[in-house]
Amino acid sequence: MNLSAKFSELQNRGEKALVLFITAGDPSLEALPEISEALQEAGADILEIGLPFTDPIADGPVIQASSQRALDRGVRPRHVLAKIAECNFQVPVVLMGYYNPALRWGLSEFAAECKSAGASGTIMCDVIPEEAGDWISASKQAGLDTVFLAAPTSTPERQKVVCESSSGFVYAVSRTGVTGAGESAAASSEELVSQLRKYTSTPICVGFGISQPDQVREVCQYADGAIIGSWLVNELASHWEDSAARKTLLSQIRELKGATKS
């Protein structure tokens, strides 16, 4: 299923998207199929899978540490794509990473490999849309959506370019800074989503700092979905191997999904 079809399905059901981020290779790459299946069963509408990278500048300490652990285990992009191809996905998958590995691989080849592995789209965190023409072209040729980020500090001109360059959804960053769980959804995110709606009819999802059902419920009043990353990455790294803790985690994800329903 592609991203557009998923958002249409959710709209028909009166729901918003629960987007869950995980780092490939943490707690282990071998666990990725089991983790992804469990998260889907618990309510994930879209899975973001992070490709470990040595300099994840958009990410806070939790995801940085997760990425480094995966790298220390020897996880590389080729290994991730091979493992993703083994997974049973019933929801769209978005690969989140950085430009250098794709550039070294070859943009067209990398895009084709992502699509072949089962991805619906990508997020290249360190590529601004004004300089992403080659990647957008390669992605379109491969049938991949390209998701770009808009921050509260983005100018109207940048917001317009982000919206025009994004397909699948637009990633609205709820606050300045890096990823990390927070106590409340930033008030600036509602204003940002409102501004972005002037330039696009593409769905808009809000991320950075979201970890609680109340935050998801708040965000879903004005956005098309909520993205949860750091909290989940930390929980998976700390508790996935413990069956009781795993059951609690999946129950919490069901509560997060319940908060997306009107």
At 17-73, the pLDDT tens digits run: 999 999 999 999 999 999 999 999 999 999 999 999 998 887 889 999 999 999 999
Answer whether 0.85 is exceeded by the pTM: yes
Could you confirm whether 224 is annotated as catalytic?
no
Residue 184 domain-assigned (yes or no): no
Place of tokens 């950075």: 208
Catalytic residue among 15, 26, 45, 59: 59
In this prediction, residue 135 has a pLDDT band, given cuts at 50, 70 and 90, of: very high
Residue 185 domain-assigned (yes or no): no
CATH of the domain at 13: 3.20.20.70
Catalytic residue among 48, 190, 218, 235: 48
Residue 169 domain-assigned (yes or no): no
Mean pLDDT for 195-204 is 98
Residue 102 domain-assigned (yes or no): yes
Going across the sheet that includes 204-207, the strands are 145-147, 121-124, 93-97, 46-50, 17-23, 225-228, 204-207, 170-173, 149-150
Mean pLDDT of the chain: 93
Identity of residue 176: T
Residue 188 domain-assigned (yes or no): no
Whether the predicted pLDDT of 178 surpasses 90: no
Owning domain of residue 11: 3-147+211-258
Could you read off the pLDDT of 157-175 as tens digits, one per residue?
A: 999 999 999 999 999 998 5
Residue 219 domain-assigned (yes or no): yes
- Per 3-state DSSP, the chain is made up of helix, strand and coil in percentages (nearest 5) of 50, 15, 35
Could you confirm whether 59 is annotated as catalytic?
yes
Distance (Å, whole) CA 66 – CA 26: 6
For the chain, how many structural domains are there in total? 1
Whether the predicted pLDDT of 216 surpasses 80: yes
